[in-house]
Amino acid sequence: MRLAEMEAIMLNIGLAVFAGAIFFIIYDLAKKSNAGRFGTFVLFFALGLGLAAFLIKTLVVEMIEGGGI
C-alpha cells in the first residue's frame, strides 16, 4: 500500500470521526440546554449545515484536483 493510498484512507476515517464528534457535540448541547424536539431539530439543522458545507467543500476540491470536472 502506497503512502498516498494510506493518506486517503486515513482522511476518510478522520472525517467520519470528526463528523461523529460534531453530531455528539450538537446532541449534548441540545440535551444540556433542554431544547426540546423543535430546538434540537433547529440545532442539528443549523450546525449540521455547517458540517455539511465543510464536507461538500472537501468533495468538490477533491473532484477538481482529481480532474473529475
Task: Say whether pTM exceeds 0.95.
Answer: no
Q: Which residues contact 42 (CB under 8 A, 6 or more apart)?
A: 35
51 burial level (CB within 10 Å; 0-12, 13-18, 19+): middle
How far apart, in Å, are the Cα atoms of 57 and each of 8, 32, 63? 16, 31, 10
Please tell me the predicted confidence (pLDDT) of residue 67.
63
pLDDT for position 68: 55
What pLDDT does residue 19 have?
A: 86
pLDDT of 42 reads 92
Q: Cα separation of 62 and 34, whole Å? A: 39
* Domain positions in the chain: 3-66
As averages over each run of 10 residues, the pLDDT of the chain (69 residues) reads 87 88 92 93 89 85 76
- Residue 41 has a pLDDT of 93
